Structure 1
Amino acid sequence: MGRVRTIQRGGSRFYIHPDRPEIKAPGVTSIISMAPKPFLPFWYARMTAELAVDSLPFVAQMAERDRQGAIDYLKGAARRYTKVRADVGSDAHDLFERMIRGGHVGRVHPDLELYRANFAEFLAAVNPELVRAEDVAWSDEHGYAGSFDAVLRVWLDDDGKPTPDRSGAPHLLIADWKTSKDTYPDVALQMSAYAHADRIISPDGQSEPMPEFNGAAVLHITPERWEFKPVRIDEEVFSFFLALRKVFDWDRDVSKTVLGRAIAKSVGGLVTGTQRRAK
């Protein structure tokens, strides 16, 4: 069995089946992007307005020389911010994986030092056992795939609190690291999709059935703090993900087939005799 590759099409990520390359499964995060986000237009507007106010003289000078360039500069404020945050998140995820695998980390970039310190504190406070990391969850039944951060075994007491000495009851959790400003409800959709997939595919292409999980948890980690929160991944939550999976098919495929060519249409505006004689 070959490894799983990914491609980008129309702004969405697709996972290519390791044995049948004609099968391309949409990614979990691309499916979740089908959910409405009414706050986004306001956020985009605020980012643009803040950039304009904070760099007013620069933007004015640019506009005098290149009006379209100034417009593009302001229009790209949210995209540039998102890319910077995504780059930090990717570097932090790489750091977390090396740390939880017990690899040597050494000195890290100053931008990552506080993340490193907080993740080290999490490891000491929870003492999880890493079972899997950065593998692909694949659903043959529902046709989707996605890379999850980790499968962890943690030991919890009767109140659901971690016992770092591992004296509590073992729980197998699907886990996710989030470095955003906050944690948002759609993380439950993401993690329920992973947990309800049919199998796990490792980087070398080996496949095995998805295990039964006792639950899910998200580690929200920022330079200031960390929190390890349980996440619902039950059938009700998963049903909402499956609804978005249908919406994805509508958006990408079915919506392009529902309107046919006109079977009747206007032939142009009415031209009066007076108009014809005036020509």
Structure 2
Amino acid sequence: MTTPKLHTISRGGSRFYVNPETGEKAPGVTSILGMLPKPFLQHWAAKTVAEYATDNLGELVGLRLRGERQGVIDFLKGAPRRSTASAAETGSAVHDLFERVAKGEPVGRVHPEYRVFLDHFDEFLKEFEPEFVFLEETVWSESLDYAGSFDAYAVIDGERVFLDWKTTRSGVHPEVALQLAAYRFADYIIRPDGSRVPQPSSTGGGVLHVRPEGWGFFPVRADAETFEYFKVLRRVFDWERTVKETVVGKPINKRPGSLPARRTAAPRKVAA
């Protein structure tokens, strides 16, 4: 997981980037991608709970015999969250190591759990010899109102590409093309002090997927056509955040027995 160098805030489960110069807020690329349907998550969550129950059966039975029914429920409900948190912690640590190595900085002692990731990254560097131009920067789009932090922009075999490091067990998913297209077609790179760097020209994107058992480098079609699909998700994000709560009005029939009015919340807006 890339850690943004710009200040971000969380609102309603979505991340917003804060422009250090103007204070304006823009939704993050990954939050916009959250508008995609993810039916596989339901199966993953059920599998995670089942695995946790199987691996911790004795502890759960002990809790239940002591009358702590709610404790058992809470343990099982939290299994997917704990799994995600653990994966995110590993991803953040590995991303930090990759950035430091790419910059030529010493990494010092490396936790044994992360050593194998770093060994694979070294293999990638030796095989592809990327020339890193930008690392862990943030792009901003004023025209479409979004921002996002990319892992790297590099020249590989003459191609100028935006790169993303992935450490997820499930592999490389198609939506990474939307993510990289959003980075590629943003308006400019913005620094923590508010200064802007012209958006670099690019020819595509790529993903380095690293797991303890191995690694792979995948080219990604992050072209203008792909970007059009991201733009649709950007509109859907606005629908979910602000528009949908405004489209159904109060009932106009006041006769006895009328159906109760749907409770309509005020549109959610990010404070300026």
TM-score, normalised relative to structure 1: 0.87
CA drift at 1:106: 2.8
Is contact 1:135-1:203 (8 Å) kept? Answer: no
- Distance in 2 between the 1:204 and 1:268 partners? 60
- Distance in 1 between the 2:76 and 2:255 partners? 42
Residues 194-273 of structure 1: matches in 2 within 5 Å? 194-265=183-254, 267=256
The residue aligned with 1:163 is none
- Distance in 2 between the 1:96 and 1:154 partners? 17
- Distance in 1 between the 2:53 and 2:105 partners? 44
- Distance in 1 between the 2:39 and 2:222 partners? 24
The residue aligned with 2:44 is 43
Is contact 1:4-1:18 (8 Å) kept? Answer: yes
CA drift at 1:203: 3.0
Is contact 1:51-1:77 (8 Å) kept? Answer: yes
Residue identity in the other structure for 1:187: V
The residue aligned with 1:178 is 166
Per-residue displacement from partner, 1:95-127 (whole Å, max 9, x unpaired)?
A: 000001101123200110100100111111111
Is contact 2:139-2:188 (8 Å) kept? Answer: yes
CA drift at 1:262: 2.5
- Assess, with a 3 A threshold, how the Cα gap between structure 1 residues 27 and 228 changes in structure 2: closer, same or farther: same
The structure with the larger Rg is 1
Residue identity in the other structure for 2:79: A
TM-score, normalised relative to structure 2: 0.89
The residue aligned with 1:113 is 115
- Distance in 1 between the 2:228 and 2:167 partners? 26
CA drift at 1:72: 1.0
- Distance in 1 between the 2:109 and 2:254 partners? 70
* 3-state SS of paired residue (1:138): strand
The residue aligned with 2:269 is none
The residue aligned with 1:80 is 82
- Assess, with a 3 A threshold, how the Cα gap between structure 1 residues 63 and 145 changes in structure 2: closer, same or farther: same
Identity across the alignment (%): 50
* 3-state SS of paired residue (1:253): helix
Is contact 1:4-1:205 (8 Å) kept? Answer: no
Q: What is the number of residues matched between the two proteins?
A: 252
* 3-state SS of paired residue (2:17): strand
Is contact 2:19-2:194 (8 Å) kept? Answer: no
CA drift at 1:63: 2.4
Residue identity in the other structure for 2:147: A
Q: Indicate whether 1:131 and 2:133 are aligned.
A: yes
- Distance in 1 between the 2:166 and 2:122 partners? 15
The residue aligned with 1:144 is 146
Among 4, 7, 10, the alignment partner of 1:5 is 7
Query: Structure 1 stretches of 5 or more lacking a match?
Result: 156-169, 270-279
CA drift at 1:238: 0.6
CA drift at 1:50: 1.6
Per-residue displacement from partner, 1:35-82 (whole Å, max 9, x unpaired)?
A: 001111111111111211221221122123321121011011111000
Is contact 1:14-1:27 (8 Å) kept? Answer: yes
